[in-house]
Amino acid sequence: MAKPLTIITPTTGKDSLYRLIESLEAQSVPHVHLLLWDDKRECDFFYPDPKTFKVKNPMDLEQDGSRSVNSIVVKGGMVQGVAAGSSLRSVGLMIASTPYVTFADDDVWFEEGHLKKMLDLVKGKNWAYCRRKVWTSKGELLGVDNFESVGASDAERKVPYEMVDNSCMIFDRRYGSSGAVLYRETNEYNDDRLFYAFLKKNAGEPSITKEATVNQVCPSKLEGMFRKFCDR
């Protein structure tokens, strides 16, 4: 069966990576998962496998053929400025060969049925997006992100700028390969804003759902902002 979707994950080997992969393996949609590594590793994190209760090192995923991942290691210091993961996303966008592409950062996990809902949503369009629920690293739900995953068209947007987080978007592969340069060349923490603006200008009107089927752990430094703007 042809796979309709590629999921791109740049990673340093966070312990949360296993939770993402388990959420992907629970999806009903066949997909290609590209796991992209550069020279940086977070080797101190370990995760107990819930099936065997054995502690596993996320770095093992690079060579773990039992998982439905395609690990690609890009050596040579790919990290650019503060844009962690941006250059790896550009690599993934150029490799992808499926009709549609999405991102899933290694601090994200998807609700059951998320991929099917996104594929149904994007049919007849070039791109689509959903909302996300934001959590602290200690497991506290801060609420639904109604400001950085709503784009331009939602009256509930609480900030003056427009954007959609990388992990909330799905798009036609052709726009991903065309926009890959935006990820490759930025040195700022803004790749999702750049790509959102590119899609808004070139890909037509998106399909939008207000359903939050993406979960993400926010960085500690951004916790105050999410507490202020998320809706419980």
Query: How is the chain split into domains, by residue range?
Result: 5-229
Q: How many helices (H) and strands (E) in the chain?
A: 6, 11
CA distance 133 to 162: 18
Tell me the C-alpha distance between 165 and 129, whole Å.
9
Rounded to whole angstroms, the Cα distance separating 26 from 157 reads: 31
Higher pLDDT, 206 or 64: 206
Q: What is this structure's pTM?
A: 0.87
pLDDT of residue 45: 44
Tokens of 111: 């609700």
Question: Once rounded to an integer, what is the mean pLDDT over residues 119-128?
Answer: 96
CA 200 to chain centre: 19
Mean pLDDT of the chain: 85
In this prediction, residue 67 carries a pLDDT of 53
Where is pLDDT greater, at 127 or 42? 127
Fold classification of 5-229 is Spore Coat Polysaccharide Biosynthesis Protein SpsA; Chain A (3.90.550)
Specify the pLDDT at position 54: 45
Alpha helices (H) in the chain, listed in sequence order: 17-25, 86-95, 114-122, 173-185, 191-202, 223-229
| Ramachandran region, residue 111 (left: φ > 0; alpha: ψ -120 to 50; beta: rest) | beta
